[in-house]
Chain A
Amino acid sequence: MPELDRDAGRLTFKLVYYGPAQGGKTTNLMQLHDLVGAEMKGELMTLETQHDRTLFFDLLPLGFRAPSGLTIRFRLFTVPGQVAHDGTRKAVLSRADGVVFVADSQRTESINNGESFQNLVENLGRVGLDIDRLPLVVQFNKRDLPAILSEDEVRERYAGAPWPLVFATALRGEGVLQTFATLLRGVWQGYAQELELDSTHGLTEETFVAAALGGAA
């Protein structure tokens, strides 16, 4: 549940980029930092990498002010993908209001994707989040590489799943904004009524997404 601080007039969404190690989560945030034109945009904080791998997490803060005066903030986190860091991954995932699952499109990574997704499902359960209600977007990254699953193959594999699929080449910034926008729509749909985003704060789904992306879309 997003954190609403009435005194400070702030509403904060915690969004988590999850996925196998080296899938492109950090790259997604780096690209977003460059592409998003939101009213408020912080630095990309990368917390301690080891051999070019995220050890703890990355954090990108974004935000804008709603017509009502409420400050809407997004804190985008990445989790460490390495299997060994499950405790950290779980801690980062806790209290999440939305998740992007970044999968690696390369055929050789299919098993890693599967295991990581399984791990996401398990950890959601452990931190008390309901996967059926949590806004979740699946991104298939690295579309520029040669030995990848075709879009049809990916769609076939996810045919039974309810989550939106986005294809991306994060390295070139392709599909990164679309992924984020898709998650924002899910987030708005998931929480707008309860938080009175539309009725009290003057934010329709369209204005919510547009303000967060800052016209970058």
Chain B
Amino acid sequence: MSVEPGFDREFVLGELITPRDADEICTQLAAVLGQPVAVLDAAGTVFAGNAPGAGSVQAPLTLELEPVGFLACACDAVALKGAARVVRWGLLSRARFRMVSDLHLEAVRADYAKLQQQNEALRASEAKYRELAEILDAKVKEQVRIIDERQRQLYQAERLASIGQLAAGVAHEINNPLGFVNSNLSTAERYVAQFAALRDMVPAEKWKAADLDFVLEDFAELLADSQQGVARIARIVKDLKGFSSVDQPDVQLADINGQLESLFAVIAGQKPPGVTLTSELSPLPPLMCLSGHLNQAFLNILQNALQAVGESGTVTLRSLATGSHIVVQIDDTGPGIPDEVLPYIFDPFYTTRGVGGGTGLGLTVARDIVLTHGGTITAATRPEGGARVTVELPL
């Protein structure tokens, strides 16, 4: 019934004695009893010795309750019974020995299996703890990274806020004088017209000698130029204000193209004359974002591109919408990004420029801002040369 025969199974004759040993016993007993002796198994078949002849008697060899075999001999039954007691005693010793050794084996095996189980459990828990340690390690690193990032964002946000306040303050201060300069220029234009009306009242030779025709014409032109200059100053101030977005510090729906345009206007003033700025903006859906922060990110990327092209080259700003994202690409015709730099390009304080060329934070900050918007930022060298930074923002 059990898979392996246990120590407690009942032994058959063959397990307790070999036919050779049984033969030996038969020979010895035959000498004592004076007749050939046979050992039969439990079923009565000859196991050892000579087959019993006519008139033989049998004596059982019983270890527990029922005989495992018999002695058979044509001799006195009482004498054979005595012989059987001796043989039984021998078989019983063997049986006891077998039982004990089998039990011992079984016990050892059980202990071994238990040890193995414990070992297995130990190994499993060890593996679990190792895994736990690894997870913890990774979590700590991730936390450190997040704290780093938050710190940079905070730093950036503060910087952005102060720049914004400064821009707003400057804009306010400039707008006032700009207002009266503009109004004075309009008045001056009127005055010039009044002077022109006096022409007939001034002697012609005197008028000519003073070259007043030219003066009046040039005066009007100067005033028109000045008005244009004032208008331009007003626009720059407005762009600066829009760029810093100090008026709207919270998440809001923003027109990214509009922002990119005012950004371009700001940056146009910084570029060397040999550099061309082009933009290819496709219609975009409005985006929920921190527009001031995104502006800072795009500005950082644009400044990086400008620095890359140096005195001459082209920086191209592109925008387009896919079903799920807004994509902004900034290409430059600079030297591109060397392969060995590429993996570190967004790392904090990694700069290839000399001291004073940049903080090394520009692209890092840009990446952090894009990541807070759930977006991605990648940098690559274009096949035709020059670098391309691609920002994808989920809608």
A115 in the interface (beta carbon within 8 A): no
Number of residue pairs A-B, CB distance < 8 angstroms? 62
Q: Which stretch (B31-39, B106-114, B158-166, B321-329) binds chain A?
A: B106-114
Main secondary structure of the interface of A (DSSP, over half): strand
Using A91-B7, A91-B110, A94-B6 as known contacts, say yes or no to A56 and B103 having CB atoms under 8 A apart: yes
Q: List, in ascending order, chain A residues with CB within 8 A of B78's CB.
A: none
Does residue B66 face the partner (Cβ distance < 8 Å to A)? yes
Residue from the set B96, B110, B114 with the largest chain A CB neighbour count within 10 Å? B110
| Contact indicator B8/A14 (Cβ below 8 Å) | yes
Closest CB-CB distance, A35 to chain B, in whole Å? Answer: 17
In the complex, whether B200 has a CB less than 8 A from a CB of chain A is no
- Chain B residues contacting A61 (CB-CB under 8 Å) are 64-65
Closest to B99 in A: A47
CA distance A83 to B100 in the complex (A): 19
Q: How large is the interface on B (under 10, 10 to 19, 20 to 34, 35 or more residues)?
A: 20 to 34
Knowing A14-B8, A90-B107, A91-B106 are in contact, say whether A40-B100 is a contact too (CB < 8 A). no
Besides A48-B100, A56-B103, 13 other A-B contacts (C-beta < 8 A): A41-B65, A42-B64, A47-B96, A56-B104, A57-B103, A62-B65, A63-B65, A71-B65, A71-B66, A87-B106, A91-B7, A91-B107, A95-B8
How far is A12 from B10 in the complex, measured between Cα atoms in Å? 10
Contact (Cβ within 8 A) B96 A45:
yes
The complex places the Cα of A92 from the Cα of B99 at a distance, in Å, of: 11
- Chain A window 17-35, contacts with chain B (Cβ cutoff 8 Å), 1 for yes, 0 for no: 0000000000000000000
Asked if A77 CB lies within 8 Å of chain B CBs, one says yes
Are B65 and A73 in contact, CB atoms less than 8 angstroms apart?
A: yes
A144 beta carbon closer than 8 Å to chain B: no
Any B CB within 8 A of the CB of A206: no
Q: Is the CB of A87 within 8 A of B111?
A: yes
Q: Looking across the interface, which residue of chain A has its beta carbon closest to that of B95?
A: A45
Closest to B62 in A: A42
B355 proximal to A (CB < 8 A): no
Contact B103 A95 (CB under 8 A): no
> If A47-B100, A94-B6 touch, does A88 touch B65 (CB 8 Å cutoff)?
no
A71 to B110 alpha-carbon distance, docked (Å): 32
- Chain B residues at the A interface, C-beta cutoff of 8 Å: 1-2, 6-8, 10, 62-66, 96, 99-100, 103-104, 106-108, 110-111, 114
Measured in the bound complex, the distance between the Cα atoms of B65 and A62 in whole Å is 7
The digit string for A32-63, where 1 denotes a CB below 8 A from any CB of B, is 00000000111001011000000011010111
Instruction: Provide 27 A-B residue pairs closer than 8 Å at the C-beta atoms, listed in order of the A residue.
Output: A3-B1, A14-B8, A40-B66, A42-B62, A42-B63, A42-B65, A45-B96, A47-B96, A47-B100, A48-B100, A56-B103, A56-B104, A59-B99, A61-B64, A61-B65, A62-B65, A75-B8, A75-B64, A87-B108, A88-B103, A88-B104, A88-B107, A90-B110, A91-B110, A92-B103, A94-B6, A95-B8
Min CB distance B381 to A, Å, is: 68
Most chain-B Cβ atoms within 10 A of its Cβ — which of A1, A40, A42, A87? A87
Residues in chain A near residue B63, CB distance under 8 A: 42
How distant is the Cα of A94 from the Cα of B100 in the complex, in angstroms?
15
Q: Which residues of B contact A86 (CB under 8 A)?
A: 111
Note all chain A residues with C-beta closer than 8 A to B110. Answer: 87, 90-91, 126
Binding site for B on A (CB under 8 A): 1, 3, 12, 14, 40-42, 45, 47-48, 56-57, 59, 61-63, 71, 73, 75, 77, 85-88, 90-92, 94-95, 126
What chain B residues lie within 8 Å of A90 (beta carbons)? 107, 110
Closest B residue to A12 by beta carbon equals B10
Q: Say whether A87 contacts B107, CB under 8 Å.
A: yes
In the bound complex, what is the Cα–Cα distance between A85 and B111 (angstroms)?
Answer: 10
Pairs of residues from A and B, 7 with the lowest C-beta to C-beta distance, nearest first? A87-B107, A91-B106, A61-B64, A87-B111, A88-B107, A40-B65, A42-B64
Complex CA distance for A155 and B66, rounded to whole angstroms: 41
A12 to B64, CA, bound (A): 12
List, in ascending order, chain A residues with CB within 8 A of B103's CB: 56-57, 88, 91-92
Q: Which residues from chain B contact A85 at a C-beta distance below 8 Å?
A: 107
